[in-house]
A = this chain, B = another copy of it.
Amino acid sequence: MDSQLPAIYRLGIVGAGQIARMTQQAALQLGITPRLLAESIDDSAALAAPDARFTHPDAIASFAEVCEVITFDHERIDIGLLQALENDGMQIRPGTKTLRAAFDKLHQRRILSMKGFQVPAFAEAKGPDDVIDFAKQYSYPVVIKGTKAGTQSKSQVWVVSSQEEALKVLSEQSQQELMVEQHMDILTELTVILARRPGGNSRTYPIAEVTNKDGVCQQINVPADIGPHIAAEARGLAKELADYLGCVGVLSVELFLTADGLVVNELAARPSNAGHFTIEACATSQFENHVRAILDYPLGPTELNFAAATTLNVLGTADCDPAMHLSDALAIEGAHVHLYGKMPKPGRKLGHVTAVGNSVDHTSELACQAEAALLGRRYQKGSSS
């Protein structure tokens, strides 16, 4: 049975994780039904989708034929293929220049440093000599990284304190392309979420302060505990970056605040984990503004509706399915629970909670309570969650 409705907006989303799931919900509110290119029927967004195709991710070309605009849930993509589609006039959003910068971290460092953006000192690490030479100049600890984003769910970042440790990582990770970077003394990790339309009009969200654990983003507090000058500089920097990359859609810019100022750490060329707070805390969510931006609609206001917000990721543990503890989590007043419908696995992002309120102290407390409840733990104030 085919729908009699005209397919006015043929929006395709490549990938079907939780980012696609939440983007899809934002599109549906506006009356737009996106198509999904999923890999499995158990993908988070496919579980919530009216129109999912289950094919190999390389099938983007045939998927693009039934779409007018395509956007992305992740970075596991063949940029060469997308470039060819873009050359044929397909609307690839955020655009291949942005996608390439987000996907290839070495390329990203090169073009950004060439353009004068502050990035950590870096070098390609084809073999031990590259790392040894780099460490001579910058001294240990140094950071070894996989150059390709989003190929694994685990973090591909190793901080090594000695040549011995470095060589161990190099030998264990010989199957992937690596780079080596200066280890920065970081005061705070910040993320600027920005949405940008094709013509260049953009809006930034209030700056988020991000706490990582084992290289995975875990707690996001908004507003970040920084002064107005740093905040303005961070927003300006994100805008400049988005303009330089010609990004269309949401760009997530991760920054290190160091004693010497702001340094660009990573980019995500899509709504990101650090922007989930915008669903409840802001006038327009990052997902709705991503949809607006890629379809070239006016962007919605991005200001906070509350004094503070905290988002905590809910990561799978060995023995617990958060869905079984939903009732306990919903009992925490002021916390908003999101579960992605995924099969529980240790370390997997199964959902998130966002609390909104009058102070970061308070919202952090509520979010920790709700996260603990979902994981079947008793939360004790002051304990690490």
A interface residues (Cβ-Cβ under 8 A, vs B): 1-5, 8-9, 21, 25, 28-33, 41-42, 46-50, 52, 54, 283, 292, 296-298, 300-301, 305-306, 322-324, 326-327, 330-331, 333-334, 337-341, 343, 351
| Further 13 A-B residue pairs, CB within 8 A, beyond A31-B322, A292-B330 | A1-B54, A8-B323, A8-B324, A21-B28, A28-B341, A29-B337, A29-B338, A30-B338, A31-B326, A33-B47, A50-B52, A305-B305, A305-B306
A1 engages B334 (CB within 8 Å): no
Chain B residues lying within 8 Å of A306, measured Cβ to Cβ, are 305
Q: How far is the CA of A5 from the CA of B43 in the complex (A)?
A: 10
Tell me the smallest distance from the CB of A10 to a CB of chain B, in Å: 13
Q: How far is the CA of A324 from the CA of B8 in the complex (A)?
A: 9
A28 engages B25 (CB within 8 Å): yes
B49 engages A334 (CB within 8 Å): no
A41 engages B1 (CB within 8 Å): yes
A48 engages B28 (CB within 8 Å): yes
B330 engages A47 (CB within 8 Å): no
Question: Chain B CB within 10 Å — which of A29, A32, A283, A338 has the most?
Answer: A29
A48 engages B33 (CB within 8 Å): yes
Tell me the smallest distance from the CB of A14 to a CB of chain B, in Å: 18
Q: How far is the CA of A54 from the CA of B171 in the complex (A)?
A: 57
Given contacts A47-B5, A323-B8, contact A341 B42 (CB under 8 A): no
Given contacts A1-B41, A3-B47, A4-B42, contact A341 B301 (CB under 8 A): no
Q: How far is the CA of A339 from the CA of B52 in the complex (A)?
A: 21
Tell me the smallest distance from the CB of A374 to a CB of chain B, in Å: 10
Given contacts A30-B337, A339-B31, contact A327 B50 (CB under 8 A): no
B333 engages A300 (CB within 8 Å): yes
Tell me the smallest distance from the CB of A137 to a CB of chain B, in Å: 49
Chain B residues lying within 8 Å of A330, measured Cβ to Cβ, are 30, 292, 297-298, 300
Chain B residues lying within 8 Å of A31, measured Cβ to Cβ, are 322-323, 326, 338-341, 351
Complex: chain B residue closest to A331, CB-CB: B298
A42 engages B301 (CB within 8 Å): no
Complex: chain B residue closest to A305, CB-CB: B305
15 residue pairs from A and B, CB less than 8 Å apart: A1-B41, A1-B54, A3-B41, A3-B47, A4-B343, A5-B343, A29-B337, A30-B338, A31-B351, A33-B341, A47-B50, A49-B50, A298-B327, A298-B331, A300-B330
Chain B residues lying within 8 Å of A48, measured Cβ to Cβ, are 28, 33, 50
Tell me the smallest distance from the CB of A174 to a CB of chain B, in Å: 34
Tell me the smallest distance from the CB of A49 to a CB of chain B, in Å: 5
Tell me the smallest distance from the CB of A317 to a CB of chain B, in Å: 16
Chain B residues lying within 8 Å of A343, measured Cβ to Cβ, are 4-5
Q: How far is the CA of A337 from the CA of B306 in the complex (A)?
A: 21
A5 engages B42 (CB within 8 Å): yes
Complex: chain B residue closest to A9, CB-CB: B323
B339 engages A30 (CB within 8 Å): yes
Tell me the smallest distance from the CB of A199 to a CB of chain B, in Å: 13
Chain B residues lying within 8 Å of A283, measured Cβ to Cβ, are 334
Tell me the smallest distance from the CB of A1 to a CB of chain B, in Å: 5
Nearest 7 CB-CB pairs, A to B? A31-B339, A298-B331, A28-B48, A298-B330, A297-B330, A31-B341, A1-B41
